[in-house]
């Protein structure tokens, strides 16, 4: 079956001068920097920045919040860009498991709920608002340590596995949307090690030049997204420099 090209695909990817709504989910370091960068680079976009502390709130573990998101998006300009930056690695109760003895059901459930179930349920919540026939981007932050092929060090069971599960869920989504919503590009992004609360306990030993500021990271991520063209690039797992990461 042949698909018609999205309306504004005459430019490289339809990214330049993108008009409509952009949704950034997650109010942490990278989320904040992305909102700022998008405001500078694409001031014509209507920015919606949601998380657990926003009004309305968007807790990715809450079906009520996800249902409400559909209503929030109805009546706004078409959704052209979604970037999910919500993620979980540690909290005051627990951190990443260095060895098997540390693996517990609650920690695994927490990691999977936010890092894997959250992004695919977010996709479901926003699907009917996406693009409206124009090109659109749905991206979510993954992590290189979620790569199964690249796992040589071990450890961090729940985080690794939940990011790998996210990758599979969104790759599956990309296959479906290539058929049903070919104007939408699904992209999994690794931001590089970035100085935020998520990485704070693990920054020792990271060479200064390899520890990005959230602003630098956000700039790289937007540069990479701008190069992705729906539908042919949909379903890729990419690092901050645009290189492909093995699944
Ligand atoms: N920083 C790095 O080095 C690095 C490396 C690779 C991948 N990543 C990925 O990049 C993404 C962004 O991380 P970051 O560095 O910006 O970390 P961060 O500053 O800790 O931000 C993470 C954000 O996720 C939010 N969050 C957690 N659970 C949520 C939920 N159920 N619903 C909605 N929001 C939720 C947190 O909300 P609250 O503010 O309400 O707590 C926090 O704002 C994550 O997916 C992370 O795995 C980061």
Q: What spacing in Å lies between the alpha carbon of 90 and ligand 1's midpoint?
A: 10
Contact between 187 and 139 (Cβ < 8 Å): yes
The domain tally of the chain equals: 1
- Residue whose CB lies within 8 A of the most ligand 1 atoms, among 23, 25, 27, 28, for a mutation test: 28
If residue 40 lies in a helix (H) or strand (E), which one and from where to where? helix 29-41
Helices and strands: H and E segment counts in the chain: 6, 6
Query: Which residue puts its alpha carbon closest to atom 8 of ligand 1?
Result: 143
- The total number of residues shown for the chain amounts to 247
- Tell me, yes or no, whether 135 lies in a domain: yes
pLDDT, tens digit (0-9, with 9 covering 90-100), for 77-129 = 999 999 999 999 999 999 999 999 999 999 999 999 999 999 999 999 999 99
| Nearest alpha carbon to residue 85 among 125, 115, 64, 63 | 115
pLDDT at 235: 98
Q: What spacing in Å lies between the alpha carbon of 84 and ligand 1's midpoint?
A: 9
- Tell me, yes or no, whether 43 lies in a domain: yes
- Tell me, yes or no, whether 14 lies in a domain: no
The structure tokens listed for 190 are: 């690794």
- Tell me, yes or no, whether 81 lies in a domain: yes
Q: What is the mean pLDDT of each run of 10 residues along the chain (247 residues)?
A: 39 78 98 98 97 98 97 94 98 95 97 98 98 94 98 97 98 98 98 96 92 98 97 98 98
Q: Which residue ranges have their beta carbon within 6 Å of ligand 1?
A: 26-31, 51-53, 58-61, 85-88, 114, 118, 141, 143, 190-191, 193-194, 196-199
Q: Report the predicted TM-score, pTM, of the whole model to 2 decimal places.
A: 0.95
pLDDT at 60: 98
From the number of C-beta atoms within 10 Å of its C-beta (0-12, 13-18, 19+), residue 105 rates as exposed
- Tell me, yes or no, whether 15 lies in a domain: no
- Tell me, yes or no, whether 36 lies in a domain: yes
CATH code, 118? 3.40.50.720
Question: Ligand 1, closest atom to CA 62?
Answer: 31
Kindly give the interhelix angle for 118-126 and 63-73, rounded to the nearest 10 degrees.
30
Q: What spacing in Å lies between the alpha carbon of 88 and ligand 1's midpoint?
A: 6
Q: What spacing in Å lies between the alpha carbon of 116 and ligand 1's midpoint?
A: 13
Contact between 13 and 224 (Cβ < 8 Å): no
Full residue range of the structural domain in which residue 203 is found:
23-239
pLDDT at 10: 39
- Tell me, yes or no, whether 132 lies in a domain: yes
pLDDT at 7: 41
How many beta carbons lie within 10 A of that of residue 150, not counting itself?
Answer: 12
- Tell me, yes or no, whether 100 lies in a domain: yes
pLDDT at 13: 63
């Amino acid at each position: 079956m042949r698909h018609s090209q999205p309306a504004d695909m005459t430019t490289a990817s339809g990214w330049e001068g993108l008009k409509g709504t952009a949704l950034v989910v997650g109010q942490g370091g990278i989320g904040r920097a992305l909102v700022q960068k998008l405001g500078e680079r694409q001031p014509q976009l209507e920015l919606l920045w949601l998380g657990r502390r926003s009004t309305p709130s968007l807790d990715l573990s809450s079906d009520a919040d996800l249902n409400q998101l559909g209503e929030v998006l109805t009546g706004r300009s078409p959704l052209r860009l979604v970037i999910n930056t919500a993620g979980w690695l540690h909290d005051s109760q627990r951190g990443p498991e260095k060895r098997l003895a540390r693996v517990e059901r609650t920690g695994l459930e927490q990691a999977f709920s936010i890092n894997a179930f959250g992004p695919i349920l977010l996709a479901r919540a926003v699907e009917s608002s996406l693009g409206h026939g124009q090109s659109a981007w749905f991206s979510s932050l993954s992590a290189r340590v979620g790569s199964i092929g690249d796992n040589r060090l071990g450890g961090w069971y729940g985080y690794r596995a939940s990011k790998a599960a996210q990758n599979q869920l969104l790759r599956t989504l990309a296959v479906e949307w290539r058929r049903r919503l070919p104007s939408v590009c699904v992209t999994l992004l690794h931001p590089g090690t970035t100085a935020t609360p998520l990485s704070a306990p693990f920054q020792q030993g990271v060479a200064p030049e390899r520890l990005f500021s959230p602003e630098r990271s956000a700039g790289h991520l937007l540069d990479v997204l701008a190069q992705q063209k729906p539908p042919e690039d949909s379903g890729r797992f990419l690092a901050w420099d645009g290189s492909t990461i093995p699944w």
